[in-house]
Structure 1
Amino acid sequence: MRSIDARLQKIVGDGDAEKDHIDEQMASNKHDQEFGKTCPVCGKEYSRRKQKCKQAGCDNVILRISKRPADSSPVTFKKKKVGIIRHEFLPSGSTATTRVPTKSQSPYEHIESHHPEDPIKIKARDPVFVNPNSYANMITVLQAIGKDLKVQKYDSTSKRQWAVVICDGLPYSLCTKILKETYTCSVCNAAIFRRTAMAKHVAEAHDRMLQEQQELTLEFGWVLLRIGYGHYEMNMVRSFMELNWEVFGKDLADVLSFKSLNAQRYAKACSDNHKSWEMIRVFYLGTLDELLLPYVRHCKKLKEEPTAAGYMQWKEQTVKNPNYLYMFSQVTIYVQAIMNMRGGLRRNNSSMVDAARVMHAPVFHGRNHPKYSEIEILEAGRCMGQPQEVKAFMDGIQSFSDKGSSRGEDLDFKTEVINQQSKAWVSHGVPTEEVWLRIFRNLESLEKLRSSTFKRMGLKDPKDIALDGTTHEPRDEDINAWRLHLRQRDYLNPTVTNTTKFESVSGEELCEELLMMSDIGMRRRRFNMNKLFGDVDGADTEPPRPIFVKESERVEYDDISNKTKENIKEIVDGMIANINSDSTRHELEEEWHYVQKKNKQTLVNFYNTIYELINLQGHFVVDSLSDDDIDDNNQ
């Protein structure tokens, strides 16, 4: 509601709501299409097909391309001041503070900040020289962390009983299994992953008497695992862009000059987090303005003051266009969740972060994002299951900031900054482990040396200038260009006509179930929760179908040849079990016993054989697939 109020004030403050600068630009574009050329002598306008002026006295002068109507002034968008990054000399005796022209107030000032008055100092420890991409390597990393922190598990004289470990997606997924299935051998203190490996280790390494005395204790019971929310936010952006690429994403990228095939792929993959953030902001602000404009014009006719509450009431009573309703939900729920996540991290506000995670959950669960859909559920379980004292501690370390109350980042991003700092001190050539250890053990002193050197030279540190001058707020020109693109297509007209369809910005038909993505996503979330924890009320017994954006996705999903061997086995098992004829069912079961051990193509052929047999004999009831599903699979 706060964002709606702010944008309403902006639209009203721009002036005449009946015909704004976007309408003027549309009129200019339309004029240029109809009268593309002008005579430079007499000023007569011609269509683009004409080459020369035929008026008397013009002597067949060559026509020039028109830029705007002859009787109108240029249409310009308001330009925003951009800070320039540069070296600056400091007056003698002054402190190294930086002032670069940016917006006067942080966009997150309205969010309550929980950053401590004295910033928490972040120090680099000795690196562990393994790639955290396997169970064995992550066990090595966790043991190194525990020993470095002197956890009681590894140092009986220590008072530290547990520690928080923060990591991004892949290490987090590996750690969730490691924490539950890594045991300590009570004889030799070896860390053994998985119970079967533990039994084998005891049998091979220790005698029978010691085997009987063996007790299973978890190696990493001291670890409290948490996802790095910097990477979590990045994947929120990626999943949102993946969902909406065909709806509006490719149009938005084209408007922002991602025009080539490679540029479009780059934009869709969100390869640059900063550019992706600017794209999201352009979509958010431009689309929200276009959603609110019809209501502002409605209020002007009635001579009423536009308010957020009034807008919500007007939308419920007036808007029927499915395109408008879908874009409204994307802006006010899912993009707003991304904004809230960024704001919560910047201000160390765990309540805002938790709310953003739950708001965005249907996107992870509704589409194919197995890793982060599981992470979302595990994080929700951690937040609800931790004791109150632990929760208070965890809420205080949601993010960390040493540059002000609106500069917070989680530790996964903070460690990346430390890594960048360390690389700056690497000399030419490939660094050895000894070089890395020397750098990390002296990194704090080296950074102090860098800062003092710039100060003594009377220069501001370019790194600090770049940081203070960085803003990823979109340009007004980009927002207005996106608004123009939407308005030219009349995409967000709140009224419905006989030709109104649920379609993308570029005019491609979309699946109607996309309008119910919140319900479908939460159903799939309950099913996934039931798989992880069990006993979830209202969970489906079979996995609900994912959200399809276009009909081609549904056809591809239902195609039996695109399914895994395990999925095909489940489908065939269900078809055989529901055949009415006992003799036919027994014959197929015997044949299926041998066929299911073969390759995937053989399984697909057997499925087609059963399908044809069922159609010919007409004795079947299949619960696992509908008739339409089977028809699609067989095509």
Structure 2
Amino acid sequence: MKEQKYELTGYCDNVSTIVSRRKRQKCEENTPKSKVKADVYNFVTHHHDGPPQIVVGNPISKNPCSYDAVKDVLLQIKNDVGISNHRSWPIVGCDGLPYVIASRVIKETADLQDILLQPGLGHWEMNMAKEVIFTYALALYVFRAGIRRNNAEAIFAARLKFSPLFFGMNKTNYQKIEILDLLMRESAPKEIQDFLSKHETFSQSGHPSKGEGCDFILESKNKLIKRWLPPGGPQDKHWRQTCCNLDKLEKVTFLYI
């Protein structure tokens, strides 16, 4: 008759299950929450370093649709960021016609040739969505995933697939933006190329799949600013006051009784 051996495998299994469950709960608590139930972009590796520090400066009351206006804006931006003191390569984001004009201004103005233009990826995505057809559906999906996950390889793979459509649909501004952006990136120093590839987008919440282009981050801040402007036609001083105090205003809460 064989001797039966009683082991505590059942008890050990229960303990390991409880420990693993607690570890999983702790991990979930430390993970930034998202309203998205399923992370549909996690097939692309993310390169977010955490939430960025966003500073709203003084507004520039210029309509950037002419050569002189764009030049004034670029000179003001360069002065505001203190390029002559401690920064070497200011990156200026713009889109559409202002991008095309700004590229010509920079080329023809020696004092502005240390500015790097960067197209707004949010507006790029919008134009993709407007022109999308079945053949380009995957390119749009990968492009969105690249933006959400701050993955330069995914972004440019999608752009390479999608760019012929801009030429076929006579999107003249985006034809120029595509070419000028690629030329800028190819001619930039290696350290600048590395920096740009690691900072294509930013996640304000810190969630790895909630990245946005700088243009859309600016849009969200602009919406917040407009909430605090007086009704009617706000003056320049109202814009300046709101922009300079936006961080404090965002902490204000209203109680309705």
Bin of the TM-score, shorter chain as denominator length:
0.7 to 0.9
Cα distance change, pair 362–142 in 1 and its aligned pair in 2 (3 A): same
How many corresponding residue pairs? Answer: 224
Q: Structure 1 residue 128 and structure 2 residue 128: aligned? A: no
Q: Structure 1 residue 107 and structure 2 residue 34: aligned? A: no
Q: Structure 1 residue 141 and structure 2 residue 73: aligned? A: yes
2:112 aligned to 220, 232, 242, which one?
220
2:216 aligned to 413, 418, 433, which one?
413
Q: Distance in 2 between matches of 1:145 and 1:370?
A: 27
> Which digits, 9 at most, give the CA deviation of each residue in 1:6-55, with x for residues without a partner?
xxxxxxxxxxxxxxxxxxxxxxxxxxxxxxxxxxxxxxxxxxxxxxxxxx
Higher relative contact order, chain-length normalized (CA < 8 Å, sep 6+) = 2
Give the 5 Å matches for 1:468-487.
Answer: none
Structure-2 residue corresponding to 1:168:
95
SS at match of 2:91: strand
Q: Distance in 1 between matches of 2:212 and 2:34?
A: 22
> Which digits, 9 at most, give the CA deviation of each residue in 1:533-571, with x for residues without a partner?
xxxxxxxxxxxxxxxxxxxxxxxxxxxxxxxxxxxxxxx
> Which digits, 9 at most, give the CA deviation of each residue in 1:489-515, with x for residues without a partner?
xxxxxxxxxxxxxxxxxxxxxxxxxxx
Q: Structure 1 residue 387 and structure 2 residue 194: aligned? A: no
Q: Distance in 2 between matches of 1:176 and 1:357?
A: 20
- Unaligned runs of at least 5 residues, structure 1: 1-96, 153-157, 183-217, 245-326, 458-635
Q: Distance in 2 between matches of 1:379 and 1:239?
A: 20
Structure-2 residue corresponding to 1:347:
149
* Equivalent pair of 2:147/2:212 in contact (CA under 8 Å): yes
Q: By how many angstroms is 1:386 displaced?
A: 2.2
Q: Distance in 2 between matches of 1:351 and 1:175?
A: 26
Which piece of structure 1 moves more, 426-435 or 436-445? 426-435
Structure-1 residue corresponding to 2:131:
239
* Equivalent pair of 2:117/2:181 in contact (CA under 8 Å): no
Q: Percent identity?
A: 35
Give the 5 Å matches for 1:614-625.
Answer: none
Q: By how many angstroms is 1:98 displaced?
A: 7.5
Q: Distance in 2 between matches of 1:113 and 1:341?
A: 13
Question: Amino acid of the residue matched to residue 339 of structure 1?
Answer: Y
Question: Amino acid of the residue matched to residue 230 of structure 1?
Answer: G
Structure-1 residue corresponding to 2:21:
none
Q: By how many angstroms is 1:383 displaced?
A: 2.8
Q: Distance in 2 between matches of 1:379 and 1:353?
A: 13
Q: By how many angstroms is 1:159 displaced?
A: 2.7
SS at match of 1:225: strand
Question: Amino acid of the residue matched to residue 426 of structure 1?
Answer: L
Q: Distance in 2 between matches of 1:418 and 1:122?
A: 9
* Equivalent pair of 2:125/2:144 in contact (CA under 8 Å): yes
> Which digits, 9 at most, give the CA deviation of each residue in 1:343-397, with x for residues without a partner?
0000011111111111101111223111111211222222333222111111121
Task: State the superposition RMSD in angstroms.
Answer: 1.9
SS at match of 2:116: strand
Q: Structure 1 residue 372 and structure 2 residue 168: aligned? A: no
SS at match of 2:204: coil
> Which digits, 9 at most, give the CA deviation of each residue in 1:148-173, with x for residues without a partner?
01112xxxxx1322211111111101
Q: By how many angstroms is 1:131 displaced?
A: 0.8
Structure 1 stretches of 4+ moved >3 Å: 97-100
> Which digits, 9 at most, give the CA deviation of each residue in 1:278-336, with x for residues without a partner?
xxxxxxxxxxxxxxxxxxxxxxxxxxxxxxxxxxxxxxxxxxxxxxxxx5xx1xxx111
Cα distance change, pair 344–98 in 1 and its aligned pair in 2 (3 A): closer
* Equivalent pair of 2:116/2:184 in contact (CA under 8 Å): no
Using structure 1 for the length normalisation, give the TM-score.
0.34
Question: Amino acid of the residue matched to residue 361 of structure 1?
Answer: S
- Unaligned runs of at least 5 residues, structure 2: 1-31
Question: Amino acid of the residue matched to residue 127 of structure 1?
Answer: P
Structure-1 residue corresponding to 2:29:
none
Q: Distance in 1 between matches of 2:65 and 2:137?
A: 31
Q: By how many angstroms is 1:221 displaced?
A: 1.4
